[in-house]
Amino acid sequence: MRNSKKPDQLIGPPPSDPIDRRLIKAVADGDRAAITELYEVYFPRLFRFMYRLSRDYQLTEEVANDVMLIVWKNAGQFRGSSKVSTWILGIGYRQCMKRLRKRRIPALRQPVTPEIRFDNHDSVELDDSITKALRELSPDHRMMIECVLYLGMSYKEVAEMADCPVNTAKTRVHNARKKLRVILTAMGYRYGEDIE
């Protein structure tokens, strides 16, 4: 599966879990129309999420397509103990990190083209500042900030996705926020409720 849209065209409404659960069941039952629908719903979110980790368009597109193939082949293994989105983004996170580690190239210093913006901030200046600051965080910390602050995931969901205890997820988010504040302060931005 290949998606020819640009990253900034990959923004869509968040999926509804009851609908997603029906889709996953249909995929597990071999319904090809369901995998197409699931792909159309999740590829954009998955792409944006993993691009924030890798900062590499080609790698992100390859991994996002690989993840959707994994979802297709393993839909029957979805236990339902988490949201479908948590399960899919968790697969994406692990696959992306695995690929980055294999390449042994620091994820934060990749050339950034094209830029993907947060779509839930009114201020373009704040958006640019946070995007620049996020580049300075490790991929793990970027993932935590992206999930909690911008995808609205709970600590429990983030812990499931990162395959770690909930308290570890809370600690990582706390540390990521502290680092983000330091970076934004050094850039001259006065942080406030925007990153709380």
Report angle CA 114, 117, 123 to the nearest 5 degrees.
Answer: 140
φ, ψ of residue 77 in degrees (nearest 5): -90, -5
Task: Pinpoint the residues of the chain covered by CATH 1.10.10.10.
Answer: 121-196
Q: What is the pLDDT of residue 191?
A: 54
pLDDT, position 49 = 84
Residue by residue, pLDDT tens for the chain (196 residues) are 444 444 444 444 445 678 889 999 999 999 989 989 999 989 998 898 888 778 788 989 999 999 999 999 999 998 888 888 888 988 998 898 888 877 754 444 443 333 444 444 444 555 667 777 777 888 778 878 878 877 778 888 888 888 889 999 899 888 888 888 888 888 776 655 445 4
- The third-level CATH classification (topology) of the domain covering 121-196 is Arc Repressor Mutant, subunit A (1.10.10)
Give span(s): CATH 1.10.1740.10, the chain: 13-113
Of 88, 50, 86, 84, nearest to 70 by C-alpha is 88
Give CATH for domain 13-113.
1.10.1740.10
Task: Give the pLDDT of residue 103.
Answer: 72
pLDDT at 127: 61
